[in-house]
Amino acid sequence: MDRVIVVGGGLAGVRAVESLRGHGYEGGLTVISAEEHPPYDRPPLSKAVLKGETDFPALDTDLAALNADVLQGTRSTGLRLHPESGGTLVTTAGELRFDGLVIATGATPVRLPGDGPQHVIRTLDDALEVRARLVPDARVVIIGAGWIGAEVATTAAKAGCAVTVVEAADAPLAHALGPELGALTAPWYAEAGVDLRTGLKVASVEPDGLALAGGERLPADLVITGVGVRPEVAWLDGSGLDVELGVLTDASFRASADGAVRNDVVAVGDCAAWWSNRYGRRLLVEHWDTALNAPETAARSLLGQDAEYDVAPYFWSEQFDRFVQYAGHHAGAERMVRRGAPEDGAWAVAWLTGDRLDAILTVDRPRDLVQAKRIIAAGTPVDAALLADPAVPVRGSVKS
* DSSP string for residues in 148-185: HHHHHHHHHHHTT-EEEEEESSSSTTHHHH-HHHHGGG
Predicted local distance difference test score (pLDDT) of residue 400: 83
| Domain match, 15 and 95 both | yes
**End-of-domain residue from the set 225, 246, 265:** 225
- One domain, residues 104 and 236: yes
Are 119 and 262 in the same domain?
no
Q: Which domain holds residue 173?
A: 111-225
- Cβ neighbours of residue 215 closer than 8 Å, sequence gap 6 or more: none
Domain shared by 102 and 116, yes or no = no
**Which among 256, 367, 372 is positioned nearest to 313, based on CA atoms?**
372
Domain end among 169, 190, 225 = 225
Q: Could you give the CA distance from residue 147 to residue 317 in angstroms, rounded to a whole number? A: 7
Domain boundary among 163, 198, 225: 225
Assess if residue 84 is contained within a domain. Answer: yes
315 within a domain of the structure (yes/no): no
SS3 5: strand
pLDDT score, position 109: 96
Mean pLDDT of the chain: 96
Let me know whether 188 and 244 are in one domain.
Answer: no
Q: Domain check: are 200 and 132 in the same one? A: yes
Whether residue 14 sits in one domain with residue 49: yes
How does pLDDT run across 99-153, given as a tens digit for each residue? Answer: 999 999 999 999 999 999 999 999 999 999 999 999 999 999 999 999 999 999 9
Q: Does 307 map to a domain?
A: no
- Give domain status of residue 311, yes or no: no
Residue 195 and residue 154 share a domain: yes
Q: Are strands 28-32 and 100-103 parallel, antiparallel or unpaired?
A: unpaired
The residue ranking higher by pLDDT, 211 or 278, is 211
In angstroms, the CA 364 to CA 357 distance is: 20
* Same domain as 211, residue 261: no
Whether 35 shows a pLDDT value over 90: the answer reads yes
Provide the CATH number for the domain around residue 361: 3.30.390.30
CB of 283 closer than 8 Å to CB of 273:
yes
Which range has the worst mean pLDDT, 64-68, 82-86, 172-176? 82-86
Sorting pLDDT into bands at 50, 70 and 90, what band is 198? very high
Residue 42 CA from chain centroid, whole number: 9
**How many domains does the chain fold into?**
3
In the structure, what pLDDT confidence band is assigned to residue 308 with cuts at 50, 70 and 90?
very high
At 34, the pLDDT band (50, 70, 90 cuts) reads very high
Average confidence (pLDDT) over 369-387: 97
Q: Are residues 163 and 211 in the same domain?
A: yes
Is the per-residue pLDDT at 84 higher than 90?
Answer: no
